[in-house]
Structure 1
Amino acid sequence: MKAPEKDPSLMEVLGPGLVTGAADDDPSGIGTYSQVGAQFGYGMAWTMFFGFPLLAAIQAICARIGATTGRGIARNLRRHYPLPLLQGAVLLLLLANIINLGADLGAMGAALALLLPGPTLAYTAAFGLLSVLLEVFLSYNSYARILKWTTLSLFAYVGVVFVAHVPLADAARGTLVPHFRFDRDHAMALVAVFGTTISPYLFFWQAGQEVEEQHRRHIKPLHVTPSNRAQRELRRIRTDTLIGMGFSHLVALFIIIATAATLHANGVRDIASAAQAAEALRPIAGDLTFALFALGIIGTGLLAVPILAGSAAYALSEAFGWVEGLDRKPREARAFYGAIAAATLGGVALNFLSIDPMRALYLAAVVNGLLAPPLMVLTMLIASNRKVMGKLAVRGWLAAAGWLSTIVMSVVAAVFLLS
């Protein structure tokens, strides 16, 4: 008689969802949340509370597509939809990712220069090189473990709130009661927050990582898996995604609250980067707060930079039919790893140009915010298509939540364009 399978531990359950959620709080995201906290105080903290179910739903659907079909988002688009749609989506994704990479690497270099005085550009290039080397030459199992443990760096921002003096009533009101004015500043902030939170690169990455997990664990796509095992996998995906996206939004909320309680409360309304936010905290909240914030930028960057480059490589590989996967040896997937290196190099190169970092940051968020709605529509069409997903096509509450997320992102984009 076959022994029943043991329930996996929480650390075994947590994987693509946790890493994807943590990567959402990358240095450019930290810069966006810091600017929102500095500019509006607690007034837009509600975007984190109400945005969580939207991100969790669409990411769970992306993960389900990857796990069910054994293919990523771009490969499914290539198989089932007109080629120009795929080409347009991948082109915009690459543009947004390279800008994001530039902002993230620049923030990491600047943060290290604050802690260890030295040449910022050299630090930036070194972080880019380190990221590429780890992604190319480490085995997938080792790399996945590193990414999982790197998520602990986000607790630095929880620590910032505890060492800052936060008026709890004001913070709770800003978090739970939506407040919005239809002017350009609020519209730009709204599309930047949602654009950096519900980002297309996260769709491609989590779907691709579910495929990688199947290779690592030597299991088949769920559409050819017995029903009881498929349902167990879907429960794992749901738990992983809810915890990962909840963690992401909680940390983002802490960043907004921390900068509202320190920068906004002391009249600092405009910052140019995540590193500047850290530096501005030093005279207001002390060296410990400053150090925690700066270390968090470096830690989250080490997590997010490989994911930004990796999601671009997944999208390109799936679009052109290249051999892909972090579980592949470099000689087996030269184009895939070449795309990772090229995207990272592009991000490093942006830092050697005279580009305002906050402008690049907001541009990336806006491109993400405008790209997300059409890509989310295509994702929902794939997820609900029985020819693609078989008996595991998305239905019921998850489908409703996915379409609601798509509608909200479309409205956010429209508000920005009309403002």
Structure 2
Amino acid sequence: MAFFSAGGNRRDTTTVPAPPAHATTAVMDTAHVGDIVGALGTIRETDTPHGRSRGQRLRMLLAVLGPGLIVMVGDNDAGGIATYAQAGQNYGMALAWTLLLLIPVLYVNQEMVVRLGAVAGVGHARLIFARFGKFWGAFSVGDLFVVNALTIVTEFIGVSMALGYFGLPKAVAVPLAAVLLFAMVAGGSFRRWERFLFGLIAINIVMFPLAFLVHPRAGTVGAGFLPSFPGGLNSTLLLLIVSIVGTTVAPWQLFFQQSNIIDKRITPRWIRYERVDLCVGIAVVMVGAIAIMAATAFGLGGTASTGGTAGAGPFTDAGAVAHALHDHLGAAAGALFAILLLDASLIGANAVGLATTYALGDTLGKRHSLHWKISEAPAFYLGYAALLGVAGAITFSPDHVLGLITQGVQALAGVLLPSATVFLVLLCNDRAVLGPWVNTTRQNVLAGVIVWSLVLLSLALTTATFFPEVSTGTLEAGFGAGAVIGALGGAAIAVARHRGDRRAAERTAAELGGLDPDQVEELDTTPLSRAERKAIVEQDRDNWRTPALDTLRRPAFSALRAAGMIALRGYLAIAVTLVVVKIIRSIGG
């Protein structure tokens, strides 16, 4: 390994052979160590990308391709389809600009998850338990289980609507989907599962003929990418904008992608390839979102500016959209939209279900890998089957109960979003976990802006959901106050971090024989050539893995961080209480 010698300021670049990953690292499940066996190729555990030809690197990229693409396409699940369809039907393409906001949010958040998964080799839930204690671990995982189960209910609702369009009753559609979803994961082969998912993702190609059938106008689509507020900024429009942005970073996505990267055995040397995988997934999800919005904007839009068919009526649900497209544009358009809805629901249910059972395995310390057969990891597959069974049974509840579930899922996801993103950033700044892969200053600034924006949007969503009478002026004032608080908080964190670095330099100075702290800081800035720096960084990163978690000292909370965590705990307690009260009142009429 490359390191600083205690008596000097030059790095020793001697390479020391690393012991087997599972022997000294945090990896829990032995199935998570070995060759990368992907849908489109295999990479041996000992392979490296260095010195390869362009064709060889392309084949390696195809072998790595998967986790980023699947989690992004899964983002356009039944709820995502409904949200984009609502935006298009009610406002045409006027809200297409919100999709541009999703690109940096998606990349920054999921890229942090990529590093955590590849370097740590354990799931998100396991890291939270190990680094923040049982309370926060139980709180995050407990809520994840509940919200994910309810989210799968909404996916089954999407399946029922889609197959109902073709005349299949719910009593057949839901059990059939549950059996198919279980069969997808129960084969004991990661490659077979990933190939099945790739087949479902390929069905998304029907979005192109659907978009062609509605005859979109390029000028209208392009104008939609310029920020505007059709009809003025009111609480209804704001809620829809918040919903569009809020569908992009659901807590289950963080848990799923990190665990799926681990299950695919992606290590730090392949992080650059996994980032490309993530970018491919973002491109696919953006094209899909625009196509869905355009389908309802031009096919069902109620305003002349959309170029659509007037008189379609306001949005009700995704199933009604399929029937409306059938009535206005013909059977082909309705069928294509129903196929998209079915496909999205199956991919979403599969990904959310796996996110939950991955987290369950992390929490209980049980085997949790698609490489195991049912007999080898019974708890993993039993948990997945139970989740599908419970969610499928709930789908047969009365319609008004299903409507409350849909509303509750949206609100609970908004409540959990701040805690999930805060933990994500804290973990990506934990040097004991990520070593040379920790966030850079630039990554922290960008992540901080995005995370705080998501927190404000989450607060606005929760407020608008449970207090619909709140005025637009109040919400705007809340955003303004939040921006000020964020700027002050960011400045305070920067000052505290600078002081912490200074104290660390002072401690190192004492260890090195009384050197001045400024001299210690200069040890890290000795001029090196660009090639030397690149070689040192690559060697450190490619070989560095998180040590066994029980050997690491937990991070000490500063006063500022402790105050922030207490405030977060208070927000979660109040918001969850509001959710429960709202549901109880709604059930009681």
TM-score normalised per structure 1: 0.90
The structural deviation recorded for 1:178 is 4.4
Which aligned segments of 4 or more residues in structure 1 are displaced greater than 6 angstroms? none
In structure 2, the residue matched to 1:335 is 379
| Aligned residue runs from structure 1 range 321-360, under 5 A | 321-356=365-400, 357=402, 359-360=404-405
Alignment root-mean-square deviation, CA: 2.1
Q: Does 1:128 align with 2:178?
A: yes
Bigger proportion of residues as helix: 1
Return the match for 1:73 from 124, 131, 152: 124
In structure 1, the residue matched to 2:353 is 309
Q: Does 1:368 align with 2:413?
A: yes
The structural deviation recorded for 1:95 is 2.3
In structure 1, the residue matched to 2:196 is 146
Identity value in percent: 24
Q: Deviations over 1:50-105 (max 9, x none)?
A: 11111111011112101110011111111101222122222222222222211111
User: Secondary structure of the residue that 1:176 maps to in structure 2?
Assistant: coil
Q: Does 1:211 align with 2:262?
A: yes
Return the match for 1:86 from 137, 144, 148: 137
Q: Closer, same or farther in 2 for the Cα pair 1:125/1:112, shift >3 Å? A: same
Determine if contact 2:78/2:341 at 8 Å carries over to the other structure: yes
In structure 2, the residue matched to 1:226 is none
| Aligned residue runs from structure 1 range 52-201, under 5 A | 52-115=103-166, 117-179=167-229, 182-201=233-252
Q: Deviations over 1:334-392 (max 9, x none)?
A: 22212211221122112110144555334323322221121111011101111111111
Q: Closer, same or farther in 2 for the Cα pair 1:363/1:259, shift >3 Å? A: farther
In structure 2, the residue matched to 1:238 is 275
Mean alpha-carbon deviation: is it higher for 385-394 or for 81-90?
81-90
Determine if contact 1:35/1:269 at 8 Å carries over to the other structure: no
Give me the whole-angstrom Cα distance separating, in 2, the residues matched to 1:162 and 1:257: 10
In structure 1, the residue matched to 2:320 is 276
Q: Closer, same or farther in 2 for the Cα pair 1:409/1:269, shift >3 Å? A: farther
In structure 2, the residue matched to 1:37 is 88
Q: Closer, same or farther in 2 for the Cα pair 1:13/1:69, shift >3 Å? A: same
Determine if contact 2:75/2:247 at 8 Å carries over to the other structure: yes
Return the match for 1:408 from 441, 453, 461: 453
The structural deviation recorded for 1:150 is 1.6
User: Secondary structure of the residue that 1:175 maps to in structure 2?
Assistant: coil
Q: Deviations over 1:111-149 (max 9, x none)?
A: 12312x232231111101210122123511111111123
The structural deviation recorded for 1:405 is 2.2
Determine if contact 1:56/1:242 at 8 Å carries over to the other structure: yes
The amino acid across from 2:69 in the alignment is L
Q: Closer, same or farther in 2 for the Cα pair 1:94/1:36, shift >3 Å? A: farther
Give me the whole-angstrom Cα distance separating, in 1, the residues matched to 2:58 and 2:217: 41
The amino acid across from 1:125 in the alignment is P
Q: Deviations over 1:157-198 (max 9, x none)?
A: 232212102233232222232437553312332332223221
The structural deviation recorded for 1:418 is 4.0
Q: Closer, same or farther in 2 for the Cα pair 1:89/1:158, shift >3 Å? A: farther
Q: Which has the higher contact order (CA 8 A, sep 6+)?
A: 1
The structural deviation recorded for 1:292 is 1.0
In structure 2, the residue matched to 1:377 is 422
The structural deviation recorded for 1:396 is 4.2
Q: Closer, same or farther in 2 for the Cα pair 1:121/1:276, shift >3 Å? A: farther
The amino acid across from 2:448 in the alignment is W
The structural deviation recorded for 1:210 is 0.7
Give me the whole-angstrom Cα distance separating, in 2, the residues matched to 1:400 and 1:23: 28
Q: Closer, same or farther in 2 for the Cα pair 1:392/1:200, shift >3 Å? A: same
Give me the whole-angstrom Cα distance separating, in 2, the residues matched to 1:268 and 1:169: 22
Determine if contact 1:111/1:297 at 8 Å carries over to the other structure: yes
Mean alpha-carbon deviation: is it higher for 36-45 or for 75-84?
36-45
Give me the whole-angstrom Cα distance separating, in 1, the residues matched to 2:314 and 2:242: 17
Give me the whole-angstrom Cα distance separating, in 2, the residues matched to 1:62 and 1:275: 34
In structure 2, the residue matched to 1:227 is none
The amino acid across from 2:411 in the alignment is V
User: Secondary structure of the residue that 1:346 maps to in structure 2?
Assistant: helix
Q: Closer, same or farther in 2 for the Cα pair 1:57/1:158, shift >3 Å? A: farther
Give me the whole-angstrom Cα distance separating, in 2, the residues matched to 1:405 and 1:343: 32
The structural deviation recorded for 1:282 is 0.7
User: Secondary structure of the residue that 2:215 maps to in structure 1?
Assistant: coil
In structure 1, the residue matched to 2:568 is none
The amino acid across from 1:327 in the alignment is H
Q: Closer, same or farther in 2 for the Cα pair 1:176/1:346, shift >3 Å? A: farther
Unaligned runs of 5+ in 2: 1-47, 303-309, 465-589
Q: Deviations over 1:187-231 (max 9, x none)?
A: 3323322232211111111101110111xxxx7x43xxxxxxx2x
Q: Deviations over 1:247-290 (max 9, x none)?
A: 11221122112112222232334334322211111111222211
Give me the whole-angstrom Cα distance separating, in 2, the residues matched to 1:368 and 1:375: 10
In structure 2, the residue matched to 1:22 is 73
Give me the whole-angstrom Cα distance separating, in 2, the residues matched to 1:410 and 1:123: 37
In structure 2, the residue matched to 1:225 is none
Determine if contact 1:164/1:258 at 8 Å carries over to the other structure: yes
Q: Does 1:264 align with 2:304?
A: no
Determine if contact 2:165/2:323 at 8 Å carries over to the other structure: yes
User: Secondary structure of the residue that 1:198 maps to in structure 2?
Assistant: coil
Query: How many residues end up aligned between the 2 structures?
Result: 403
